[in-house]
Amino acid sequence: MLFRQLFDYDTWTYTYLIADEASGEAALVDPVLERRDRDLALLKELGLTLKFCLETHLHADHITAAGQLRELTGCQTVVPAGANAACADRFVAEGDRLQLGTIEIQAIETHGHTDSHVAYLVNQTELLTGDSLFIRGCGRTDFQSGDAGQLFDSIQRLFQLPDSTRVWPGHDYKGHTVSTIGEEKRLNPRFVGRDRQGFIEFMNSLDLPDPKRIMEAVPANERCGRVAAV
């Protein structure tokens, strides 16, 4: 399996490239519009065919490249079930599986940051958590129908995976790249020592500014990255 972590410095967003080298089939997870050409160049350089663009959720901080990548490559756009994105080719829910050659990608519903969110478990070893579980943190729950109780429940389910499962987040703001389920269970300050009610109270006490691009990004991502004409 070929696995690459790519970064957008403007929005602190990780995009992931997953590919089966034997078949040349590839997927991009949470691609960023402004990094479209970088990702296309890497696919070409590695001799890969883009089969899927996967979204963990409808993002509020950046615009997806999925729609443009579909136009340029013929890939399928995939979003979580319940997302307001009629433009998508496919919706995935708990337990749904996608294949890239011999690679299996399993959807795990992780609602709470938004009301339609999935993590992707790749070959039972690599967990792409989107904006649910971060390295020593978690996604916010104060907009897009977020729910702190749901997020707590979602993370507890992820914590049932083997401790060795690697955690690849959708963002990082401190320079970290990867963790494990075992590390996060022991060390994540959002969850260690907190029960469900304590977590809800903590999350509800946060006073965070809205993402700078929320008014632009959410409507565009409901259209698979197509920005409305001015």
Q: What kind of architecture, by CATH, is found in domain 2-211?
A: 4-Layer Sandwich (3.60)
User: Domain map of the chain by residue range?
Assistant: 2-211
**Residue 79, strand partner residues:** 91
Full pLDDT tens readout for the chain, 230 residues? 999 999 999 999 999 999 999 999 999 999 999 999 999 999 999 999 999 999 999 999 999 999 999 999 999 999 999 999 999 999 999 999 999 999 999 999 999 999 999 999 999 999 999 999 999 999 999 989 999 999 999 999 999 999 999 999 999 999 999 999 999 999 999 999 999 999 999 999 999 998 889 899 999 999 999 976 43
For 122-152, the three-class secondary structure string (H helix, E strand, C coil) is: ECCCEEEEECCEECCEECCCCCCCCCHHHHH
- Cα 83 to the center of its chain, rounded Å: 13
Q: Is 192 exposed, middle or buried (0-12, 13-18, 19+ CB in 10 A)?
A: exposed
Instruction: Give just the sign of the alpha carbon dihedral 66, 147, 173, 205.
Output: positive
